[in-house]
Structure 1
C-alpha cells in the first residue's frame, strides 16, 4: 500500500482545488460508489461458455489471442471474478450469457434452458454480494447461421423465440432472488454478407419475433435490445440496426443498448444519450473500445469513454443508465484486462462527477462561451487522479499501479497452472 499519509495529503489538496470552483468532492465520491458496473463473464474464457468443451465461435464473434490461463470451468470463472472484485472499489454486478449455465455435463439445448441451470450462479452471487444480469445467446450454435429471429424458416425463428423467452425467465428469477432487477440484453447477429434485396422482409420477421418474446411480462427484468452497424461476414445488411431497435425501444418502452463498438468508427454515442432518455425509461451501455471495427479491445480512459460519462452526469441520468462492460481480449492477462477496463470506466465517471457543472451551466446560460471553454479545458488538469487514489484507499483496494504486482502473483499461483 502506498504511503497513506501521502494519499490523504494529496486528496486534501485536490479537494481544496475542486471546492474553489464549486465542486463537492465528497458527494462525487458518494455518487461514484453508487455506480455498479456490470462485469462481463466472457472476458474470463474468451466467450466459450459451458455448453460443450469444443465450442466454436460464430455469428461474428471472435476472441483474438492465445494468452495462457483462461478459465476452463465455472469454478475458475468464479475464482477469477472474485479476484477481479478485490481490485475494484464499490459494489458491482456480473453479466452472464446463456451459454454459461451450470449444465452438469449434460447437453441442454438453448430452447430448453431453465432457471435451475443458473441457480448455482444465483447462490454464488448472493454469497459474494453481487447482482446478476443476463443475455440470450444467438451465436455459436448449429441453428445460428446468418439469421436467427429474422430467419425465413419459421421453425428456426420459433427455436430462438423460445430460447429468448426462457432467457428472460432466468433473468427474472435472478432479479427476484437477488432483490435487484436483472437487465436482460437481446442481441442477435442477423444479417447478410452481400447485397440484400428483402431487407423489409427480414426486419418484419425480426419485429414479429420480438413481439412474441416481449408478450411475456416479467416483473424483475429490465429488457433491452442491442443494435449493431455490421457483423463480420455479414457486412452488407444488419437486421437489428440502430434505427430498427431505437424505434422498437421507443414504441415498446424498453431499453436500447448502446455499445461503443456498434456504430460507425467516426460516430460517438454520447450524443445519443439525452435524445433516447427523452423517449425511453432507461438505457443500457456496453462500454468497449473499437479499433477500426467492433474489435472489443480493453476499455481505456479515452475521449469516447470520458464524453459518455460526462453526458450521463450532465443529464442527471445516473439512475437511468445501466453501465455494462463488453470486451474480450485473449492477447493479454485476462484479469489485468478486466481491471484496466473497469477502473478506466470508473475514472471516466469520476472526472464527470468532478466537473464544475454549476459554473459551466451558468456560463452557458449567460452566453459566456469563452469562459465555458476555458473552464472545461482547465478542469482537465485538475488533480482527479489523486481523488481516485483516495477512493481506492478508503475502499480498501490497491491504489495506483499496486494491482499489477498482485495480478502477476495471481498469475503465478493460479492461472499459469491452467494447462
Structure 2
C-alpha cells in the first residue's frame, strides 16, 4: 500500500522538475480531470447483450477466452461497471449498444424505444455518468450476406433504417435525461469477401439509408451522430462499403462526427496523423481507442507508443475539446473489470504525459527551425517523473495509487464474480 505522504513528497519533487521547464502540474491536473472517457459496456459480458444473449457473434467480431465471472444480467453488468469506475480517476461516460436494452417482453432491434433503456438511465444518474449509444448492426438474422444498410434488398435496408432511427431516439433520450450530449455511433459490417464488379451502387444505397436515418432533427445539446469506417473485416476482405473515405466525406457533408477506431487501419498507418488532417474541415471526432495486435484484434489498451502518439496529437494541437474519447476492446482471458481499469488508466496516463510538455516552447523552437532544442527536450521529457504526477491525480480523485487497485479487483472476484459460476 502506497502512503499518501510518499505520494505527496514525490509529487512535490516532480512539480519542481516540471516547473523548471515551464509546466504547471497543478494546472495540468485540473485540465486532465475535465477529460471524460466513454467506457464501453461490452467488455463486461463479451458482447452478448440482453436482447439475444445466445446469438452467435457475426460481422467479423469474436471474443477469445473464458475467464470466470462474466456478467450475465443487467445488475451484474452495472455492478461490474460501478466497480471499474470506482478505480478510474475522474468523471466519465459509458457506451451502450442496442442489444443491452433491458425489457420486460421480447423485442427486436426495430421496435425498441427509450423506455427499454430507463434501467441504464437510472443507473447512470446514480453513478453520475453520461451515456453514449451504438446501434447494433451485427449478430442478427437480418444481416443478409454481410449486408445491412447497403443491402440490395429493400426489406433488409428498411429494417436497419428503422433500427438506426430508434438508436437516435434513444441517444436523444440519454442526452435529455442526463444533461450531457450522447454520441450515437454507427458502424456496419457491409461488404464483399471477393472482388465486386460494382463498388459504387452499394455506397449510394448506404448514403441514402443514412440520409433517411438522420432526416429527423434532434437538438445537438442532447445527441449527435458519429460514423465509423473500417479498412476491411472478416468476410469482407475485398471491399468495405463503409470505408474511411466514405465516412470522412459523409461526416463533413452532413456536419456530423467521424469515428476513428485505432484498430481499423493498416498496421503501418499512424492513426494520430488523421486528426489534424480532418479537424480543420470536420465538426469533431469520436475515437475508439483500441490495441490492434497485427490487426483489429481489440486487445486491452496499454500505455504503448501508439497510444502516446494519439494523446500527443490531441493535446499538442489543442483538439481535446473537439474529440470524444471512447474505449473499444474485449478480452475474456483476464478479469473483465480489470481490463476496463487497465485500458482507461493507460489512456489517461498517455493524455497526462502529453499535457506535461512545454508545448508552447517546443512549438516556438520548431517555428524558429531550432530542431536541436525540439529533439533534445522531447527526449529528456521521456524520463521526467510523470508517474509521480499520475499518482497525485489518483490520490486527489480518491482512487487507489499504483497497483493498489488490484487488491480491490481480487476482493471483488472473491466476493462477487467467482460466485457467479
Structure-2-length-normalised TM-score: 0.98
Say if 2:12 is the partner of 1:12.
Answer: yes
The secondary structure found in structure 2 opposite 1:332 is coil
Matches within 5 A, 1:8-407: 8-104=8-104, 106-145=105-144, 146-219=146-219, 220-407=222-409
* Runs of 4+ with >6 A deviation: none
The secondary structure found in structure 2 opposite 1:313 is helix
Q: Distance in 1 between matches of 2:413 and 2:189?
A: 34
The residue number in structure 1 matching 2:420 is 418
Q: Distance in 1 between matches of 2:224 and 2:26?
A: 31
RMSD of Structure 2 on Structure 1 (CA): 0.8
Q: Deviations over 1:305-360 (max 9, x none)?
A: 11111111111111110000000101111011111000000000000110111210
Q: Distance in 1 between matches of 2:42 and 2:86?
A: 18
Q: Distance in 1 between matches of 2:189 and 2:376?
A: 44
Structure 1: tracts of 5 or more residues without a match: none
Q: Does structure 2 conserve the Cα–Cα contact (< 8 Å) formed by 1:184 and 1:221? A: yes
The secondary structure found in structure 1 opposite 2:402 is coil
Q: Distance in 1 between matches of 2:284 and 2:235?
A: 32
Q: Deviations over 1:133-157 (max 9, x none)?
A: 0000000000113010000001100
Q: Distance in 2 between matches of 1:123 and 1:408?
A: 28
Q: CA deviation at 1:52?
A: 2.7
Shifted more, 364-373 versus 51-60: the winner is 51-60
Q: Distance in 1 between matches of 2:192 and 2:417?
A: 39
Q: Distance in 1 between matches of 2:53 and 2:43?
A: 17
Q: Distance in 2 between matches of 1:335 and 1:107?
A: 29
Q: Does structure 2 conserve the Cα–Cα contact (< 8 Å) formed by 1:37 and 1:93? A: yes
Q: Distance in 2 between matches of 1:141 and 1:53?
A: 11
Report the number of matched residues: 418
Q: Does structure 2 conserve the Cα–Cα contact (< 8 Å) formed by 1:69 and 1:416? A: yes
Q: CA deviation at 1:53?
A: 3.3
Q: Distance in 2 between matches of 1:341 and 1:167?
A: 27
Q: Does structure 2 conserve the Cα–Cα contact (< 8 Å) formed by 1:255 and 1:284? A: yes
Q: CA deviation at 1:172?
A: 0.1
Q: CA deviation at 1:166?
A: 0.5
Q: Does structure 2 conserve the Cα–Cα contact (< 8 Å) formed by 1:289 and 1:300? A: yes
Q: CA deviation at 1:268?
A: 1.4
Q: Distance in 2 between matches of 1:275 and 1:103?
A: 43
Q: Distance in 2 between matches of 1:266 and 1:73?
A: 40
Q: Does structure 1 conserve the Cα–Cα contact (< 8 Å) formed by 2:288 and 2:328? A: yes
Q: Distance in 1 between matches of 2:197 and 2:338?
A: 45
Q: Distance in 2 between matches of 1:7 and 1:53?
A: 45
Structure-1-length-normalised TM-score: 0.99
Q: Does structure 2 conserve the Cα–Cα contact (< 8 Å) formed by 1:22 and 1:358? A: no
Structure 2: tracts of 5 or more residues without a match: none
Q: Distance in 2 between matches of 1:235 and 1:34?
A: 40
Q: Does structure 2 conserve the Cα–Cα contact (< 8 Å) formed by 1:36 and 1:92? A: yes
